[in-house]
Amino acid sequence: KAGVTQTPRYLIKTRGQQVTLSCSPISGHRSVSWYQQTPGQGLQFLFEYFSETQRNKGNFPGRFSGRQFSNSRSEMNVSTLELGDSALYLCASSPQTGGVMNTEAFFGQGTRLTVV
């Protein structure tokens, strides 16, 4: 079974630009979560999707948005990039069945975004 796939792996963008990151979950997993990881901050929750519905959103500005498609693939978009958005963006999928988070999450390799 293929793991969680994130593309691209690395990205360099200029301040003010926008970026779209992609995540393909493990086959059969309907829950996809996104996290931002920066040194000293740990993994900060961005949002979680299940069956194309956003069920929860973290404390990030509206420049951060996401969506999930009918095949469970997810994208996140960051508009008007700032230097502080430089981070590792991790996507995780889990075989949730619709209820609460009662299983482990499986992570992709992440997208390293550098804003210059």
Partner 1 sequence: EDKVVQSPLSLVVHEGDTVTLNCSYEVTNFRSLLWYKQEKKAPTFLFMLTSSGIEKKSGRLSSILDKKELFSILNITATQTGDSAIYLCAATSGTYKYIFGTGTRLKVLA
- Contact set with partner 1 (CB under 8 A): 3-4, 31, 33, 35, 40-45, 48, 50, 55-56, 58, 88, 90, 92, 100-110, 112
Residue 57 near residue 47, CB atoms below 8 Å: yes
Cβ nearer to partner 1, comparing 35 with 85: 35
Specify the residue, 31 or 74, whose C-beta has the smaller distance to partner 1.
31
> Of 4 and 115, which has the nearer Cβ to partner 1?
4
In the complex, the smallest distance separating the C-beta of residue 13 from partner 1, rounded to whole angstroms, is 19
Whole-angstrom distance between the N-terminal and C-terminal Cα of the chain?
A: 37
Nearest distance in Å: CB 68, partner 1:
13
**Is residue 82 a contact partner of residue 96, using CB atoms and an 8 Å limit?**
no
Rounded to a whole number of angstroms, the minimum distance from the CB of residue 55 to partner 1 is 4
